[in-house]
Chains A and B, each alone.
Chain A
Amino acid sequence: MSAASSSDAVIRVHDLTKTFNGVRAVDGISFSIPAGSTCALLGGNGAGKTTTLSILLGLLLPTRGQVTVLGEDILRHRYRVLARMNFTSPYVDLPKRLTVRENLNVYARLYGCTPARSRIEALAQQLELEEFIDRPYGTLSAGQRTRVALAKSLLNEPDLLILDEPTASLDPDVTDRVRHILMDYQRRTGATLLLASHNMVEVERMCDECLIMRQGKIVDRGPPSVLIARYGRDTLEQVFLDIARGQETLAQTS
């Protein structure tokens, strides 16, 4: 997980920088993520997490740097790999007047999933969407919508799943279910998961590695247990607070 690239890295980022109106949202970061791992991108609001994820998805063009995803330069050949990726984010939504089934059908066709119907049926069963699959998406609760968004993100059985705050604003029950669905998918398929999250319990349970960002830079990295031990804390949330408040040096030396 170090900056040194490994041959089986699914994501390789080198010197990535994104500037908005003179402000560096992402400031020369480098990292790689091995295949089959679950990695968290952590940091406070404005740390540069969503900007980094957007660049990895090809939604945002960087000011500088190289980004390789699934073996392809995402800046030049993103269409070669988009069919093998997927994502969810609280910043996006699905057409509200379409039913869940219609939305999934459209996306299944966009991803070229064949046969679309059986894939949708399988996901509906797995994610317990059956009772509301023929209801308009706009009439669903937040938890139901999250499950639909997850179903959309799993339609093409992605090799790389990018999740921006996958459990934001969900109650503990739905959060737990979503977490289990993702972990089950990762175990079953060996996919690589990259998530940005503020839920440190979720990160501790799910992730092999953490990249911690502040003001556009990666300020620390490592497995959750190693970070907790390094900072002499009991939980990852305490480590997060130390770093977010700029007290990491103090915590490490005390």
Chain B
Amino acid sequence: MSTVVAGGALGRVLAMVLRHAYLLRKSWPRLLELVYWPSVQMILWGFIAKYMSAHSSFVAQAPGLLIAAVLLWDILFRGQLGVALSFFEEMYARNLAQLFVTPLRPLEFVAAMLTTSLIRTLVGVGGAALLAIPLHHYSVFDLGWPLLLFFVNLLVMGWSIGLMVAGLVLRFGLGAENLAWALIFAVAPVSGVYYPLDVLPAWLQPVARCLPSSHVFEGMRAWTLTHRFRVDLALAALGLNVVYIAVGIAVFLLAFRGARQRGSLLQIGE
């Protein structure tokens, strides 16, 4: 009696990606918002860099350093937000219970959120990166192949934090949604986005080294200023990210199981 069932896991992941693509495609404010904030940041920091290059020998060595930093930071930020917002959309729509009585598995749901986040990040940060070329005569793509490694590491770290936020919201309800913004900004000062880690107090530097992002930004500065690729930093970031993404997925799955125990999947929403 049941209709032919086909497609499998990939089909279900793509179905969820399609759901978010529908939403983005028809909502120009959403699309604009994706590009708007990274662009505003890029424009602002581009002018700051221009000013500082005349007053700071450090910035004068590589005026594009600050623009690269802000664009890379936005990969982390948008990656995290992309996961968290995809999840919030389902909660706002009171759609979670319907989704989880389909054959969609929690890990497939996670894969869909990560894919959606990748698309949102590429659109948002990619748009800002392209805009920087005519506006500030700086192309982040000139970083070459290390850019891909920086991108992957920052995106994966963003995904990890996004999954933890989604797990916390699943546990504590939409009242906890502000964590999506709060958590990531707590990471910013210790990531050394705009300054070397040496600037941090000695007691804070070990904390910074526990973040994949701090190794990426250190690596980006080394590459930009000396054109030397720091393999040690790349490996540290990759290793930490394996732990981060495992923890992120575990937190989400545990929260999902907890929601099934408390019965909150059917009640959760606006």
Contacts and interface: CB of A to CB of B under 8 A. Distances in A.
Interface of A: 18, 20, 50-51, 54, 57-61, 79, 82-87, 89, 91-98, 102, 105-107, 109-114, 119, 152, 155-159, 189-191
Interface string B18-42: 1100110011000000000000000
B2 interface: yes
A89 B265 CA distance: 13
Interface stretch (B90-98, B132-140, B169-177, B205-213): B90-98
A48 to B, nearest CB: 12
B57 to A, nearest CB: 51
Nearest to B105: A79
A107 B101 CA distance: 11
Interface residues of B, number: 42
A97 B267 contact: no
A91 B262 CA distance: 16
Contacts of B97: 59, 89, 91-92
B8 interface: yes
B7 interface: yes
Contact of A98 (B1, B22, B263, B267): B22
A96 B1 CA distance: 30
A107 B102 contact: yes
B267 A83 contact: no
B3 A119 contact: yes
Contacts, number: 131
Contact of B95 (A79, A94, A111, A155): A94
Contacts of A86: 101
Taking each of A20, A50, A60, A82, which has the highest tally of chain B beta carbons within 10 Å of its own beta carbon? Answer: A60
Contacts of A105: 18
Interface stretch (B9-17, B63-71, B146-154): B9-17
Contacts of B6: 112, 114
Interface of B: 1-8, 11-12, 14-16, 18-19, 22-23, 26-27, 89, 93-105, 257, 260-263, 265-267, 269
B4 A57 contact: no
A157 B19 contact: no
Contacts of A20: 262-263
A82 B89 contact: no
A216 to B, nearest CB: 14
A79 B98 CA distance: 14
B8 A157 contact: no
B259 to A, nearest CB: 9
A159 B2 contact: yes
A215 to B, nearest CB: 17
A189 B3 CA distance: 11
B10 to A, nearest CB: 11
Nearest to B269: A93
Nearest to B101: A57
Contacts of B89: 95
B23 A97 contact: yes
A112 B263 contact: no
A146 B130 CA distance: 46
Contacts of A96: 93
B31 to A, nearest CB: 13
Contacts of B260: 58-61
Nearest to A136: B26
B4 A114 contact: yes
